[in-house]
Amino acid sequence: MQTTFDFSTLYAHPLISTEQLEQIKAVHRKVSFKKGDFILQKGEVSKSYFALQSGIARSFVHDYEGNDITTGFFCEQEFVINELSLFKQEPSLENIVALTDCIAWEISFEDFQLLYHSIAGVSEWGRLFMTEKLFQTQQRSLEMITLPAKDRYLQFLKDKPQVIQSVPLKYIASYLGITDTSLSRIRKEVF
C-alpha cells in the first residue's frame, strides 16, 4: 500500500506550477473509510470530494422497484465525487459506499472554490475535468444503448480491471445493466 500520495497525477495541468500544487496538497486532509462505510448518503448535500489513494468505492441508487443499481466505481488515483450534489449544493440522489477499506484525501467544497478562483491553472483543470466527466457520461449512455452486454463487459474489463478482482459480481452486473446470470454466462465465454 502506498504511504504517500502523488497529487501531481490527478491535478496534472501545464498551468499548475509546483508551488501551486503544494497549495493544492495543503488543503487536502487524509481520511480513511472502512469497508461498508458510506462516503455520501442519498439526501445529504456533498460538502467535499476525495482523491482516492487506495481502495474501491461504488456509487448506487435504488430504482423505482427498490433494486440496487450501481452507477459507478471509484478506484485508486481517481476522485470520489458526486458532481451534481457538490457543485449544485443539492441533496444527493446517489449513495457512495466503500467496497474495500479506503484511504483518501479530502478537500472541502469551500477550499476547492478558493483554489478555483485564485489559481488560473486550477480553474482550467476544473473545466477540463468536468468536460471529461461529460464525455464519459455520454459515452456510457451510448454504450448502454448500442453495445451488446458482452462488449460492455469487455470495455469494463479494459477500463476498470482492478474492480473485477475485488467487487461482488452483482454490482458489476447492475452497472452493466444485466443480470448476475447473464454476467456469469458472458464471463464463461470470455475466459
Residues 6+ apart with CB under 8 A from 169: 180, 183, 184, 187
Say if 126 falls within a structural domain.
Answer: no
CATH number, domain containing residue 42:
2.60.120.10
Say if 101 falls within a structural domain.
Answer: yes
Provide the grid cell at 114.
478558493
Domain hosting residue 46, numbered range = 7-109
Q: What is the mean pLDDT of the chain?
A: 96
Over the stretch 9-55, which tens digit does the pLDDT of each residue have?
999 999 999 999 999 999 999 999 999 999 999 999 999 999 999 99
Say if 114 falls within a structural domain.
Answer: no
Whether the per-residue pLDDT at 3 is higher than 90: the answer is: no
Residue 132 to residue 1: CA distance in whole angstroms: 28
Domain tally for the chain? 1
Say if 186 falls within a structural domain.
Answer: no
Say if 169 falls within a structural domain.
Answer: no
Say if 49 falls within a structural domain.
Answer: yes
Say if 130 falls within a structural domain.
Answer: no
Residue 83 to residue 78: CA distance in whole angstroms: 14
Say if 98 falls within a structural domain.
Answer: yes
Over the stretch 68-91, which tens digit does the pLDDT of each residue have?
999 999 999 999 999 999 999 999
